């Protein structure tokens, strides 16, 4: 797994909508600050020009009303449009503009709220840029740029800083480091299995066990197959995922209301909610039958988990959809079994991300793992390691004239790969011993005049108290 | 040297002027975006209210002229102020405001141009923030925050990203990584000697020698002693440093002109330029005498360099002043001896930085070392290492049904600390060998059905071609 790094600044392009989709568990169709300007101006015209004024016009919330006040010509004296003088009026908005009826306005408000979490600004070259909120879109851009010169599959990781302007809670900061691992070029579920294996290996290494942490696993295809079963059009899929992703945050009645406004029938909604409550593959099989890709993928993943030896870490949970727009297949998230913290990590398959950057699609999957929640968990479990300073040698001259000699000794030790804290001032020996204890030095090297004349130094092993003289050349 | 990390975002406070001083070789008195607003509005009044209108008013360049156009009341019809209707007018600007005569305006323009290099913006909480252009002010803030709980001296290092919006040239990017090392709490030159030693050790480790790179060393105190010798007031010191720092960039006549506008007499200017051209400590001693701190510090540093064994790397050069406002003593910069590149690194003593953050002063010194110029130098010298991928094992199943078995083998090897590239798809052996060669795998582990039934796998040592079977438990 080679490490990679990407720039911290993203340029906000029209076709790069995915930059604006924020972990965790939030997503939407891609809209952009630049785009917003046109959306806003089009929303303004709705109240006056629509002949059948509905509550929708009351719901539009123009953020700037300059146009509405002064009219298109800028003249103040032009007569107001009178909607009751009925003529045959085209009820469609002008080409390229959009109205925002309440259901769309809610989505837009939700979306704008999410924009707020981006650190975005205009640079001195008038580019709209943002501090990256996550690493995957930067990776996708890089892969497309490198193109066919990259021998697939890629197995890359990165640890990078990400920024989000959000309300700070436990394990949620405005700046954090995120570990990402991605496998690009493997369509099989073996890739997801390998990724989860890496996380489990990491957990084990830091002392976290399967009784502390688990992975909820599902597939976006579960939802897709249910919707297709009821002939719900594919373009509604993304929107439904957004709504579903909020299940743990808002009351179930509000979820239902939103699903209804996405034109889902009561029957579909009921079926959907039933499926989402499924917590075992057996039950899922009863619901979906054995033929769909969702079940085949999930069964393979659970079978591989047995072989990898992490079957006790993972469980099927149909309610997991993850918050990023680009996931297409298996999705998973790590959670603490006590339920005190937000998701520890999350990931999934994103087979169509690359084409949104203008490249060919390449099957891909990956995960993101922040440094904040895991530290909270380690604290919670009493597993935070004590990492005291570790310096092998402290070197000190006994005489101001021997400072240079002490420096020479430090240089020799460093050349031999040893770490050295060189005492840079004239300090009493008592101070030197105190400092040696604080930095957990193993040896004290004393450069005294009599020894130095013989080409020797004094050595004190601080753990045992053993003391001896040694030739500088023989210091190891 | 413990590693540290700081946030990437700086809040721009009034008293944190130092955030705005940019490496390399630029500095100024500390002014801030917020402050600028008041400066600008005060500059606007100059043309109309000053009775003795000079060329200075023509030189003022208000960036916003709204007030000037509409007058204070906003009324368009109020009569213009007539400067020739002479009354006794206070020729001082109103309290708290400032005029900008040409010499000050030039400084302000220069300063504003430098502001442009900051990535600064307002966050959603209306804080003026900037992406850090360098790391030292963040370190200073942290040290003050930790206060007396920190046992001095501190010897800390950091590698962090820094951002500057500047014209991109060779070795100059808008985002770079910077290695910083600082020693806080040591007033003696032993600290500077130790820092330079660290850089030399690093250079040697990557193959750079004293014939490739040198350090120009001086002390800000040299300049200070010359100015004091001519009774030039101390407050002019910073401004003179700014001008001097431009010596290699603009013609000497312009330097002189600027020094004159800083109220230095011809005599002082000539003396200053003579001193700045001094390239040896012997000559400096002739100029300054033996008693000043500048010479004592520098002599001690060169003596320590002998003992450390890097005397051939350093040379005295009085023209080095470095571009940051906060340096107070020894300053140094690493340069390539062929003169093709800009400074490789730079640093110095900054004994008064902490008090600008409201803390007590603590003696301190440090350096910054960017990742861009050094890579250019390594390229130039043919010293860029070939760093090919290095994976110990490639593990592959010979049969789709044995994928899980291959995963189990990978897990076992990883638990034993080995790196493994697991083949995740069904690929012909030819493909596997090609990939093994590309990633420089040392061993190929083949999981075949007959061997697996015996609890064994096939091993091929790829360097020697040696082949054998081994029990999975005995894989090392």
Query: Does the structure show a pLDDT above 90 at A247?
Result: no
In a domain, B370, yes or no: yes
The more confident residue out of A340 and A247 is A340
Residues of chain B positioned with their CB less than 8 A from the CB of A131: 8, 131
Sheet holding B456-461, edge to edge: B420-422, B393-397, B443-447, B456-461, B467-471
A365 exposed, middle or buried (CB, 10 Å; 0-12, 13-18, 19+)? buried
Q: Worst-scoring range by mean pLDDT, A378-392, B93-107, B269-283, B399-413? A: B93-107
Evaluate if residue B268 carries a pLDDT over 50.
Answer: yes
Scanning every residue of chain B, which has its alpha carbon at the shortest distance from the alpha carbon of A300?
B404
Confidence of residue A116 (pLDDT cuts 50, 70, 90): confident
Give pLDDT, residue B35.
Answer: 26
- State the helix-helix crossing angle for B220-229 and B266-276, rounded to 10 degrees: 150
Residue A314: pLDDT band by 50, 70, 90 thresholds?
very high
Question: CB of A161 within 8 Å of any CB in chain B?
Answer: yes
Note whether B255 and B359 are same-domain residues. Answer: yes
Please tell me the predicted confidence (pLDDT) of residue B170: 72
Nearest-angstrom CA–CA distance, B192 and B300: 10
Q: Which residue of A has its CA nearest to B411?
A: A308
Same domain membership, residue B304 and residue B168: yes
Model confidence at A56: pLDDT above 80: no
Integer Cα distance of A352 and B23 in angstroms? 43
What stretch of H or E contains B407?
helix B403-415
User: Which of B380, B406, B435 is at the close of a domain?
Assistant: B380
Peptide bond into A168 cis (omega under 30): no
Q: Which residues contact A153 (CB under 8 A, 6 or more apart)?
A: A183, A184, A185, A186, A191, B424, B425
Region B284-296 average pLDDT: 90
**Contact residues, chain A, for B404 at CB < 8 Å:** 303-304, 306-308
Specify whether A371 is located in the same domain as A455: no
Q: Are residues A318 and A296 in the same domain?
A: yes
The closest CB to that of B201, out of A153, A155, A414, belongs to A414
For chain A, positions 166-205, list CB contacts with chain B under 8 A: 174-175, 183, 186-188, 190-191, 193-194, 197, 201
B178 is in an annotated binding site: yes
User: Contact, A411 vs B308, CB < 8 A?
Assistant: yes
Are residues B138 and B281 both part of a single domain? Answer: yes
- A376, containing H or E segment: helix A371-380
> Does residue B458 share a domain with residue B376?
no
B425 and A309: CB-CB below 8 Å? no
Do the chains contact at B403 and A119, CB–CB below 8 Å?
A: no
Do residue A411 and residue B197 have CB atoms under 8 angstroms apart?
yes
Count of C-beta atoms within a 10 Å radius of residue B164: 21
Predicted confidence (pLDDT) per residue in A439-456, tens digit: 999 999 999 999 999 999
Same domain, B303 and B269: yes
Q: What's the complex ipTM?
A: 0.75
How much of chain A, in percent, has pLDDT values that exceed 90?
52
How crowded is the C-beta side of B261, counted as CA atoms within 13 Å?
Answer: 15
Evaluate whether residue B89 is within a structural domain.
Answer: no
CA distance linking residue A305 with residue B99, whole number of Å: 74
| Same domain for A311 and A236 | yes
Residue B139 CB neighbour total at 10 angstroms = 23
Range from A185-189, A246-250, B258-262, B373-377 carrying the lowest mean pLDDT: A246-250
- Is the residue at A20 inside a domain? no
More confident site: A408 or B21:
A408
Q: Could B407 and A197 be called an inter-chain contact, meaning their C-beta atoms sit closer than 8 Å?
A: yes
Q: Is B190 annotated as a binding residue?
A: no
- Whether residue B224 is predicted with pLDDT greater than 80 in this model: the reply is yes
Interfacial A residues in 377-406 facing B (CB < 8 Å): 389, 403-405
Q: What pLDDT band is residue B386 in, cutting at 50, 70 and 90?
A: confident
CB atoms within 10 A of CB A143: 22
Q: Is B52 on the interface with A (CB under 8 A)?
A: no
**pLDDT value of residue B278:** 95
User: Quick one: tokens of B353?
Assistant: 């930085």
The pLDDT tens digits of the residues spanning B35-67 come to: 222 222 222 222 223 333 333 333 333 333 333
Interface of B with A in 454-473 (CB under 8 A): none
| Feature table: binding site of A for L-histidine | 134-136, 164, 178, 182, 322, 326-327
With CA atoms as reference, the chain A residue closest to B401 would be A304
Same domain, B208 and B355: yes
Mean of the per-residue pLDDT values of chain A: 79
Q: Is the pLDDT of residue A459 over 60?
A: yes
* Final residue in a domain of this structure, among A71, A86, A115: A115
Please tell me whether residue B79 adopts helix, strand or coil conformation: coil
Higher pLDDT pick, A123 / B365: B365
Contact B151 A123 (CB under 8 A): no
Q: Which residue has the higher pLDDT, B47 or A5?
A: A5
Statement to judge: residues A371 and A404 lie in one domain: no
Q: In this complex, is the C-beta atom of B151 within 8 Å of any C-beta atom belonging to chain A?
A: yes
Residues of B in contact with A408 (CB under 8 A): 307-309
Domain that holds residue B278: 133-380
**Which residues in chain A have Cβ-Cβ distances shorter than 8 Å to B422?**
194
**C-alpha distances in angstroms, A379 versus A272, A343, A374, B365?**
38, 16, 9, 36
| Higher-pLDDT residue of B452, B20 | B452
Contact A425/B153, CB-based, under 8 Å? Answer: yes
Residue A457 confidence (pLDDT) above 70: yes
Domain check: are B350 and B407 in the same one? Answer: no
Contact at 8 Å (CB) between A21 and A118? no
A252 is a domain residue: yes
**B197 contacts A425? CB cut-off 8 A:** no
Cβ atoms of A395 and A409 within 8 Å: the answer is yes
Tell me if chain B has a CB within 8 Å of the CB of A433.
Answer: no
Residue A306, CA atoms < 13 Å, CB-side half-sphere: 8
Pick from A122, A124, A311 the residue to mutate for testing the B interface (most B CBs within 10 Å): A124
- Domain boundary residue, one of A333, A350, A380: A380
Between these two residues, B60 and A339, which has the higher pLDDT value?
A339
Within a 13 Å sphere around the CA of B359, how many CA atoms are in the beta-carbon half? 20
Is the predicted pLDDT of residue A35 greater than 80, yes or no?
no
In this prediction, residues B81-103 reach a mean pLDDT of 51
Q: Is residue A161 situated within a structural domain?
A: yes
Shortest Cα–Cα distance, B307 to chain A (Å): 5
Range with the poorest average pLDDT among A121-125, A345-349, B454-458: A121-125
pLDDT of the residue at B140:
86
The residue among B331 and B160 whose pLDDT is bigger is B331
Distance in angstroms between the alpha carbons of the first and the last residue of chain A: 35
CB A279 within 8 A of CB A317: yes
Residue A126 domain-assigned?
no
Inform me whether the C-beta atom of residue A153 falls under 8 Å from chain B C-beta atoms: yes
Instruction: Examine the pLDDT at B70 and tell me if it is beyond 60.
Output: no
Q: Does residue B8 sit at the A interface (CB-CB below 8 Å)?
A: yes
Preceding omega of B74 cis (within 30 degrees of 0):
no
DSSP assignment of B121-134, as one string?
EE-TTS-EEEE-S-
Shared-domain flag, residues A227 and A370: yes
Domain assignment present for B125: no
Give the CATH number, domain containing residue A218. 3.30.930.10
- Model pLDDT for residues B301-359, shown as the tens digit of each residue: 999 999 999 999 999 999 998 877 789 999 999 999 999 999 999 999 999 988 877 78
CATH number of the domain where residue B457 is located: 3.40.50.800
pLDDT score of B24 more than 90: no
A333: Cβ contacts below 8 Å, ≥ 6 apart = A215, A216, A320, A322, A343, A344, A345, A346, A347
Query: Looking at the 3D structure of chain B, how many domains does it have?
Result: 2
Task: Give the residue, A286 or B118, on which the prediction is more confident.
Answer: A286
pLDDT of residue B11: 63
Whole-number pLDDT of residue B274: 93
Residue B10 phi/psi, 5° resolution? -110, 140
A109 band by pLDDT with thresholds 50, 70 and 90: low
Work out how many CB contacts closer than 8 A connect A with B. 121
Yes or no, beta carbons of B175 and A7 under 8 Å apart: yes
Within a domain: A125: no
On average, the pLDDT of chain B sits at: 79
In this prediction, residue A102 carries a pLDDT of 57
């Amino acid at each position: 797994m080679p490490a990679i790094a990407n720039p911290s600044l993203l340029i906000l392009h029209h076709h790069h909508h995915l930059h604006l989709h924020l972990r965790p568990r939030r997503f939407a169709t891609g809209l952009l600050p630049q785009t917003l300007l046109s959306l806003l101006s089009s929303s303004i015209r709705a109240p006056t020009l629509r002949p059948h004024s509905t509550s929708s016009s009351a719901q539009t919330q123009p953020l700037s009303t300059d146009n509405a006040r002064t009219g298109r010509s800028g003249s103040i004296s032009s007569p107001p449009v009178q909607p009751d003088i009925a003529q045959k009026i085209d009820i469609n908005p002008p080409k390229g503009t959009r109205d925002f009826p309440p259901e769309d306005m809610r989505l837009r408000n939700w979306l704008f709220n999410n924009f707020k979490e981006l650190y975005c600004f205009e640079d001195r070259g008038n580019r709209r840029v943002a501090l990256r909120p996550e690493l995957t879109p930067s990776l996708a851009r890089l892969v497309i740029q490198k193109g066919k010169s990259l021998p697939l599959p890629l197995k890359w990781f990165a640890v990078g800083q990400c920024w989000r302007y959000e309300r700070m809670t436990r394990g949620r900061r405005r700046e954090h480091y995120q570990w990402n691992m991605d496998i690009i070029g493997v369509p099989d579920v073996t890739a997801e299995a390998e990724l989860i294996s890496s996380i489990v290996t990491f957990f084990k290494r830091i002392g976290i066990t399967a009784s502390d942490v688990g992975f909820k696993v599902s597939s976006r295809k579960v939802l897709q197959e249910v919707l297709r079963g009821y002939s719900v059009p594919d373009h509604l899929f993304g929107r439904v995922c957004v709504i579903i992703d909020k299940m743990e945050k808002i009351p179930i009645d509000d979820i239902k209301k939103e699903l209804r406004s996405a034109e889902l029938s009561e029957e579909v909604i009921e079926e959907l909610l039933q499926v989402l409550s499924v917590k075992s593959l057996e039950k899922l099989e009863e619901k979906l039958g054995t033929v769909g890709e969702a079940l085949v993928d999930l069964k393979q993943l659970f079978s591989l988990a047995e072989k990898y030896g992490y079957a006790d870490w993972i469980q099927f949970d149909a309610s997991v959809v993850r918050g990023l727009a680009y996931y297409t297949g298996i999705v998973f998230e790590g959670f603490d079994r006590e339920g005190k913290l937000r998701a520890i990590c999350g990931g999934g398959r994103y087979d169509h991300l690359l084409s949104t950057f203008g490249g060919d699609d390449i099957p891909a999957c990956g995960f993101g793992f922040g440094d904040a929640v895991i530290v909270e968990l380690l604290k919670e479990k009493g597993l935070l390691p004590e990492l005291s300073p570790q310096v092998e040698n402290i070197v000190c001259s006994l005489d101001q004239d021997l400072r240079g000699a002490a420096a020479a000794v430090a240089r020799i030790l460093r050349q031999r790969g040893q770490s050295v804290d060189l005492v840079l001032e004239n300090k009493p020996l008592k101070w030197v011993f105190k400092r040696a204890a604080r930095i957990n030095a193993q040896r004290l090297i004393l450069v005294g005049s009599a020894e130095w004349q013989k080409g020797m130094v004094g050595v004190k092993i601080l753990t045992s108290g053993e003391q001896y003289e040694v030739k500088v050349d023989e210091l190891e």
